Each structure stands twice: as C-alpha cells, then as structure tokens.
Amino acid sequence: MSVLSCGRRGCREIMCRHLILYNKYYICTDCLEELRQLKNEWPVELTQKQVEDRIEGFMCSQKSNIKILSREEIDGVFESLISVQE
C-alpha cells in the first residue's frame, strides 16, 4: 500500500485521498476543509490564475494545530460555552 501524504507544509496526514491543483498535491480532509473555509474570505472577483496562486500559497503555508470550525461546529461550541449551569 502506498503512502499518500498531504502536500501541505507541516501536515503529517499520510492517507490522503484528495488530489488538487491539477493532481499536483494530495490533501487531507482537514486541510481541504480549512482551504474551503479560507476561500470564503477571498475577494468576490478573481482570475483563474489568482485562484491557483491562492491554493498554491495555502499548500505552502504551515499547518497550524488550530482547527477552523465549520458553522455547525461553531454553533455547537457556542451553545456549550453559554449553557447555563443551575
């Protein structure tokens, strides 16, 4: 069985199934979700080259131990933090 390690700098995942950027990189599910969340902060208008450059930049960025939460996860954490203890 071959190792399909995530191409993002600093990521240690080794069983990645997603290929991105014209099959240049394998990316793990966590990094892919982080990239998708980050995309929501990009300008509304970009050229294809600018999108490619941003994805390339993401893959060259250092993976952090901080997990970016989805909207549902944010809601769950928020509710757990404001739950009233009586």
Q: Say how far apart CA 39 and CA 18 lie, in whole Å.
A: 17
Q: What pLDDT score does 86 carry?
A: 63
Q: Say how far apart CA 27 and CA 15 lie, in whole Å.
A: 9
Q: Say how far apart CA 80 and CA 26 lie, in whole Å.
A: 35
Domain ranges of the chain: 18-82
Residue written as token pair 């997603």: 18
19-78: per-residue pLDDT in tens?
A: 999 999 999 999 999 999 899 999 999 999 999 999 999 999 998 877 777 888 899 999
Single pTM value for the model: 0.73
Asked whether 70 and 37 are in contact (CB, 8 A), the reply is yes
